[in-house]
Amino acid sequence: MAEVSLRQLSKVYAGGVEAVSDVSLDVTDGEMIVLVGPSGCGKSTTLRMIAGLEEVTSGDILIGNRSVVGVPPAKRDIAMVFQNYALYPHMTVGQNMEFGLRMRGVARAARQQRVADVAGQLGIAELLQRRPRELSGGQRQRVALGRAMVRDPQVFLLDEPLSNLDAKLRVQTRGEIAALHRRLGATMIYVTHDQVEAMTLGDRLVLMEGGRVRQVGTPREIYDRPANAFAATFIGSPAMNMLSGDVRGGQLTLSGNPIRRPVAKSIADGPLRVGIRPEHLLFGSRPGVVSLVELGGAEVVAAEYLGHETLFRTSLAGHELLVRTANPSVAIGDRVLLACDASHVHLFAATGDQPRVEEGP
C-alpha cells in the first residue's frame, strides 16, 4: 500500500473550464479518504488525474513518493472502480476478474488461484461462470471490486461506486466496502456527492466546491467545526440553518432582534452568517443549562413526523428554521420559544469565502 500526495494540482480542460484548482492533499498509507462535494466540483477529474486517465495541467501527483505525472495508467499500480462497473459483457465473471492479471502475463494457475481467493472473500465464488448481464447490480459492483482486488494494487480509486444501486443495497454495499477497507488495510480514494456516504465511509473527507478544497478533516471535525459556511451547510442532514445576523458592540442580532448571545469583542461590527444545526435547536428554555441562548418566539409552520423524531419548520422574525427533535408535543400554529446551547451557534463571515469567525478568549 502507499501514500498519495497531490501538490498544487490543477486541471484546465480544453475550452477553458478550470475543473480543479490548486489542490494539495496528503493521503496516508491505508487511509480511506473521500472526495465529496456537489456535482461538477472537480471530484472525478481529481480522481481521473490520479489514475492517469486525465492529463494534469499543473502540479504533481506522488504515489508512494514517486511522481506519476506522465506515467501511463497501467504503470501506476492503482485500480479503479467505476460507477457503471465497466465489465466486459462477453466475458464471464471469472474472465473479467482475471483480465488485468492476464494482461500482465501472470500464469494461468496463479491467476485462477488469485481469482478464487478474491471471489471467496467477496462471496461471489458461485458467480464466476456467469456473464455480467446475468447478475444483479449489487453483484456486478462486487465483481468490479473483485477485479480491482485481484491485482493487489497500491491504491484503490472508487468513483461513485454505489450510485447505480437502489437505496437498500447502497447501504449494505457501503458497509461491505468499509469492512473490505478495514480488512485489506488498503489506501482508498473514494468519490461521492452523497454526504451521508462520505460521513460513514471516510477516515477523512476532502470537501470540494468549484474545483477547490474547502475543508479537509474527519467527519466529526467537519461536523463540529465547519471551516466555512459551505462546509457547514453541505455536511449534515437536514442541512444547518443559516441566518443573516449582525454584530454591534459585541451583541448579536437577527433581523434587528437582539438574541442573548454575546460574541467576543474581537469580532468587528457588521453582518455575519449564523449557523445552527436543526438537531441543536430546542423548544423552550432548559432550566440548569447555563449557556442557553434564547433566539426568541417562533411560529411552527409545518411538521414532518418521522417516528423516532420530528422535523418542525418554524418561522422566527422572518427567518425559517428547521428544528429536529424527538419531542413531538408541539403542533402546527403553536408559538414556541427557540433556544440553543451557545456552543452550537456557528458564526461565519458574510462575505468572500465565508470563513468561520473564530472567537478569541
In order of 6, 59, 257, 274, the CA distances from 261 in angstroms are 42, 45, 11, 11
The DSSP bridge pattern shows strands 4-12 and 58-63 to be antiparallel
CB of 44 to ligand ADP, least distance (A): 3
| Grid cell of 14 as nine digits | 480544453
CB of 243 to ligand ADP, least distance (A): 28
CB of 17 to ligand ADP, least distance (A): 4
Task: Pick the closer one to ligand ADP by CB: 14 or 109.
Answer: 14
Task: Pick the closer one to ligand ADP by CB: 36 or 119.
Answer: 36
CB of 196 to ligand ADP, least distance (A): 17
- Kindly give, in sequence order, each residue whose CB lies less than 8 Å from that of residue 352, ignoring residues fewer than 6 positions away: none
* Site residues, ligand ADP (CB under 6 A): 13, 15, 17, 19, 37, 39-45
- State the burial class of residue 247 (Cβ atoms within 10 Å of its Cβ: 0-12, 13-18, 19+): buried
- Residue 146's nearest CA partner among 98, 106, 184, 104 is 98
Task: Pick the closer one to ligand ADP by CB: 86 or 264.
Answer: 86
- State the burial class of residue 346 (Cβ atoms within 10 Å of its Cβ: 0-12, 13-18, 19+): buried
The answer to whether residues 250 and 262 touch, using CB atoms and an 8 Å cutoff, is: yes
Task: Pick the closer one to ligand ADP by CB: 16 or 288.
Answer: 16
Q: Where are the alpha helices (DSSP H) in the chain?
A: 43-51, 93-103, 108-122, 137-150, 167-184, 195-201, 219-224, 229-234
Task: Pick the closer one to ligand ADP by CB: 50 or 148.
Answer: 50
CB of 42 to ligand ADP, least distance (A): 4
Task: Pick the closer one to ligand ADP by CB: 43 or 114.
Answer: 43
CB of 231 to ligand ADP, least distance (A): 16
